[in-house]
Amino acid sequence: MAVLKDRYSFTPAEPAPCARRTLRAAIAGVGRGLHSGRDVTMVLKPGAVGSGVVFCRSDLGVDVPGRFDLVTDTRLCTLIGEGAARVGTVEHLMAAVMAVGIDDLRVEVDAAELPIFDGSAAPFLFLLEAAGVVEHGGLRERIEILRTVRVEANGTFAELRPHRAGGAGFEVSLQIEFAAKAIGAQSYHFALSESGFAEEIAPARTFAMRAEIEALRAAGLARGGSLANAVVVDGEAIVNPEGLRFEDEFVRHKLLDVIGDLALAGAPISGRFVGCKTGHALNNQLLRALFADQGNYRVTNGSLAAQARQLTAA
């Protein structure tokens, strides 16, 4: 087992059936929890055929499936599960999982949050690619968007749309705007592919305003936050001495969060996402709205269809 310390290929809208994918071997990563500040050990293991992504609290012996309907908190990250049996900050790993096209994965973690590493998805992508990805049987499901689904709140919105004629894969278009002059208004369009994700999106780090960090720490949160795992903005200034990885790193990271949050749909999405100033809460609401009406989507290869019908009937 390899240890690391402190790319979803373009597919046609109507793909031929293909086998589900998982890791070739187990691999571990050790890093700091963003909010707890404690060391966290995460072990990524091959998943059983058809299991999907499952998070296991190894310190509790409790499994929590990585699904949108089990998201219980979106204020500072995307958190799944309830009470002691919860796992937070899953979005960066889920984005990497979606990018490399993994269907079944077991994620063992000994704390209530995944390690933050450097605040981006790049370390998670490295772990997945180092472990290797293999086909292991069963048929991959895919969620095709059939009509536009939109959620909005306080001047922000998030939509899932069908492909344009001849379109394929999953496309993301996002606009953000912040009062801080170092960020301002930014936009980005991205067609999801493994290589594109690795180069354009995965390295983009999470970010916070300096004043917000002080408030979070006063509330007992962000104890593990530092310039090593987040971009800190103070008005017109970037506090990190090394500066930014991209001129528009902020919108790229928000787009990374969108990909990770939508990966909790349970299967790859075939269609387009368009959003304006969206966050974890609205991203999750979008998936709930999508699955609330079977006319919004079509599931290929079947086994997810029963789950979708269950969620719609609930």
Tokens (6 digits) for 84: 């002691």
Separation CA 13–CA 18 (nearest Å): 13
Tokens (6 digits) for 174: 């996002």
Separation CA 145–CA 36 (nearest Å): 38
8 Å CB contact between 224 and 6: no
Tokens (6 digits) for 272: 């387009």
How would you list the strands of the sheet with 237-238, edge to edge? 207-209, 231-234, 237-238
Separation CA 289–CA 246 (nearest Å): 33
Q: Are strands 19-23 and 237-238 parallel, antiparallel or unpaired?
A: unpaired
How would you list the strands of the sheet with 85-87, edge to edge? 71-73, 79-82, 85-87
Candidate list 35, 92, 253, 280, residue with the active-site label = 280
Spell out the residues 6+ positions from residue 16 whose beta carbon is closer than 8 angstroms to its own: none
End-to-end Cα distance, the chain: 41
Q: Are strands 170-177 and 62-65 parallel, antiparallel or unpaired?
A: unpaired
Tokens (6 digits) for 267: 């299967």
8 Å CB contact between 94 and 53: yes
Q: Any catalytic annotation for residue 136? A: no
Any idea which residues carry the catalytic annotation? 280
